[in-house]
Amino acid sequence: MKKEQKKSLPRFLWLAAVIIIGFCTLVLAVLSLINILVKQRTDGQIVSDEEAAALGADCILVLGAGVREDGSLSPMLADRIRTAVSLYQSGVSSRILMSGDHGSESYDEVTPMKEAAVAAGVPSEAVFLDPAGFSTYDSVYRAKEVFGAEKIVIVTQEYHLYRALYIADALDLEAVGVAAPPKNDLGQLYRDLREWAARAKDFFKVMF
């Protein structure tokens, strides 16, 4: 009896390995297909400054990102603000909506975002804050349901725009995106991998 168990154990492990590998392959295939779909559906909505102006947007929606402990903007977020300011100055919209995380007193993305825009010449009254933009979905959803926007120009880096635009489409928001300059650093690989999974997450979120 013991000998039979010892002989069958390697076969069991082999079968378990095949099942696990097969399952992981299936999951990766599904995630890859979702990413391809999201990018194909929204690729044509990433436009130039001039094309964005043709939308007649209710606002320029700037998606938040990391803020340092001293309150200064991360380089990625600073690029988003500069892009939004340029769009405002080009007449793309008369309003900028800064959406980010200000869920606690100790962490605030949106106030430094507004301060940077105002310092760059945007009137304070033209900049609105959404402190409950805790995720990309929250930011886009609240732009429509809380702030009443129907047409928006989304500003973030290109890798992030596909998902934001896909969410906007699912929520019946007319939207285009303008890409802030990419950050070509070692951290971008991590951001790309995280975004790859996040696209699948929000694909199912807007579905259900």
Is residue 131 a contact partner of residue 110, using CB atoms and an 8 Å limit? yes
User: How many domains does the chain divide into?
Assistant: 2
Token representation of residue 104: 């606690």
Same domain, 23 and 60: no
Is the CB of residue 85 less than 8 Å from the CB of residue 120?
yes
40 and 53 belong to one structural domain? no
Bridging pattern class, strands 127-130 and 151-157: unpaired
Predicted model pTM: 0.86
Q: Is residue 202 part of a domain?
A: no
Instruction: Flag whether 14 is in a domain.
Output: yes
Work out the angle between the directed axes of helices 2-42 and 187-207 (0-180°, nearest 10): 90
For residue 194, being part of any structural domain is answered with no
CATH number of the structural domain spanning residue 163: 3.40.50.620
- Do 97 and 55 fall into the same domain? yes
Do 64 and 8 fall into the same domain?
Answer: no
Residues 34 and 52 reside in one and the same domain = no
* Pair 146, 118 in one domain: yes
Q: Quick one: pLDDT at residue 105? A: 78
Write the DSSP string, the chain: -HHHHHHHHHHHHHHHHHHHHHHHHHHHHHHHHHHHHHHHHHGGGB--HHHHHTT--SEEEEEP--B-TTSPBPHHHHHHHHHHHHHHHTTS-S-EEEE-B--BTTB-SHHHHHHHHHHTT--GGGEEEETB--SHHHHHHHHHHTT--SEEEEEEEHHHHHHHHHHHHHTT-EEEEEEEPP--STHHHHHHHHHHHHHHHHHHHHH-
Query: What tokens were used for 131?
Result: 């402190």
pLDDT at residue 1, rounded to an integer? 46
Sequential pLDDT tens for the chain (208 residues):
444 455 555 777 777 777 888 878 888 888 888 899 999 999 899 999 999 999 999 999 999 988 888 888 999 999 999 999 999 999 999 999 999 998 787 888 999 999 999 999 999 999 999 999 999 999 999 999 999 999 999 999 999 999 999 999 999 999 999 999 987 777 788 888 889 889 999 999 888 8
- 2 and 96 share a domain? no
Task: Determine the Cα–Cα distance for residues 62 and 139; give it in Å rounded to an integer.
Answer: 9
Same domain (yes/no): 137, 35 = no
Residue 103 and residue 4 in one domain: no
**Within-domain flag for 207:** no
Predicted pLDDT of residue 207: 83
Range of the domain at 94: 46-183
Rounded alpha-carbon distances, angstroms, from residue 62 to 23, 83, 200: 38, 9, 22
- Which residue do the tokens 């007193």 mark? 105
Residue 193 lies in a domain: no
Residue 90 and residue 137 share a domain: yes
Question: Is 154 found in the same domain as 143?
Answer: yes
Same domain, 57 and 160: yes
